[in-house]
Amino acid sequence: MDEFKNLFQTGDWKTEKHVPIIEAPDEVKKGEFFRVTATIGKEVAHPNKTEHHISWIALYFHPQGEKFPYEIGKADFSAHGASTQGPDTSSVYTHHEVSLSFKTDKPGTIFASSLCNIHGLWQSSKKIKIK
């Protein structure tokens, strides 16, 4: 039986352009909002063309000791240069990056997932400690 989890790919974001990069503090204050940014292609640029683009990035937080993660945000990227005149004829392109703030009382792991319309699902994670 196929498993959904087996469809997610990962790699080193410094050499693989599809892996979401999570930027967040390593340690945060209990109950205080902090910023998380996830982007694609920080070191190796990912195309943003009609025929090859990142469709979305989703962020989740899995508190330590809890069974399930929480979805903390998702961004859909809809502008990839297409227009009524055809592919890559528009001057409008969305950059594949999302920033949000959230707070937690527990340490845990932030997960980021993304979808490339050609190369599928990708994931990464970052542990967060509480002060």
Which are the catalytic amino acids? Answer: 16-18, 46, 52, 116, 119
Name the CA radius of gyration of the chain, rounded.
16
Contact (Cβ atoms closer than 8 angstroms) between residue 19 and residue 124: yes
Contact (Cβ atoms closer than 8 angstroms) between residue 13 and residue 124: yes
Distance CA 41, CA 54 (A): 10
Determine how many CB atoms are found less than 10 A away from the CB of residue 123: 19
Which residues 6+ apart lie within 8 Å of 13 measured at CB? 19, 20, 21, 42, 43, 124
